[in-house]
Amino acid sequence: MGKGGALSKSVLKSIILSYTYVSIWISLSFSVIVYNKYILDRKLYNWPYPISLTMIHMGFCSILAYLIIKVFKLVEPVTMSRDLYLRSVVPIGLLYSLSLWLSNSAYIYLSVSFIQMLKALMPVAVYSIGVMMKKETFKSNTMLNMVSISFGVGIAAYGEAKFDTFGVLLQLGAVVVEATRLVMIQILLAAKGIKLNPITSLYYVSPCCFVFLSVPWLIVEFPVLRETSSFHFDYWIFGTNSICAFALNLAVFLLVGKTSALTMNVGGVVKDWLLIAFSWSVIKDQVTPINLVGYGVAFLGVGYYNHLKLQAMKDSEAQKKTREADEEAGKLLEERTEEGVPKKNEAED
């Protein structure tokens, strides 16, 4: 009884903690998306300067990550040479800055709900680019699944009440660039045994993003801000927005470290549906039945793709454990043989 009670308490505690981590992550991710939409939308806060907003985020995250790693020493930095930094981290920083610029720009033209529907194309982009860069194996059934996801998103786009071609191109560009970044992380970092958690990622990547973004900012947004005197820095708005963006990275660190990829995927689905419901009910964006049907088709395809990926990961881990157990058993057998069987000349004596 005591053991059963202890076990049930342990399981209950684990479930409660998992739900807590997921809730924190969903809340922060939800807040960042809605907050960015509020700042950038011309009908709301009316500050349509996505490069400036992204630079504020990157500057804020760079400072906090530096304090956490170098001053308070709460997280250990990764040992990295200057050559490795320039060859591996800088290209990823360039792609990340471009991805953030494009995705934030899309909020000016598209609704939150429709953007979430377009983001369903991320697995399609990651898989296609992975195949082109020979990081994924082409499989006809997987490609058929990618086609079904694309078909679903196409239906959702067809039913979009406020379709904006330029906004769609921005978001699709963001998806392609972000997918390229994820594949390049595997090629440039993971293949070299370098693992960056969200804090060390911010420490190394955020300054790169800030520098890269400063170039288009000086050309595109700075002249407009200077002429219109629109650079009224609202410390409360931009400060809380940046805190939310940084806290989201901490929540990702917590969620991935304490739960699993499956938990995060399920949480992501819940977040997407909550954002669509919020966009329709609170922001009053028009969500049509065709939107929902199309996203439903894409959602099923994405869910099946995630299921296959997680199953493949489990099979790979099981094979690794079996191989390690076989190697350990072989070593033990070899040691026992050496200890228990006399040498040839000793046996003859």
Q: pLDDT by residue (tens digit) across 67-123?
A: 999 999 988 888 888 999 999 999 999 999 999 999 999 999 999 999 999 999 999
pLDDT along the chain (349 residues), means of 10: 56 78 90 95 90 95 94 89 92 95 96 94 93 91 94 96 95 95 88 83 93 96 84 86 90 72 73 91 91 94 84 76 73 68 52
Give start and end residues of each alpha helix (H) in the chain: 2-40, 50-66, 82-84, 90-106, 112-118, 122-132, 140-158, 165-188, 198-216, 222-228, 235-258, 261-281, 289-340, 344-348
3-state class (DSSP) for residue 170: helix
Per-residue confidence (pLDDT) for residue 305, from 0 to 100:
87
Helix axis angle, 90-106 to 50-66, nearest 10°: 140
* Phi, psi angles (nearest 5°) of residue 107: -65, -20
Write down the pLDDT at residue 307: 80
Question: CB of 181 within 8 A of CB of 95?
Answer: yes
pLDDT score at 120: 93
As a whole number of angstroms, the longest Cα–Cα distance in the chain is 102
Q: Phi and psi (nearest 5°) for 260? A: -150, 170
Nearest alpha-carbon partner for 265 in 107, 120, 99: 120
Q: How far apart are CA 145 and CA 187, in angstroms?
A: 25
Distance CA 214, CA 220 (A): 10
Helix (H, G, I), strand (E, B) or coil at 11: helix
Transcribe 250-285 into DSSP letters.
HHHHHHHHHS-HHHHHHHHHHHHHHHHHHHHHTS--
Question: Going by C-beta distance under 8 Å and a sequence separation of 6 or more, which residues neighbour residue 32?
Answer: 241, 244, 245, 248
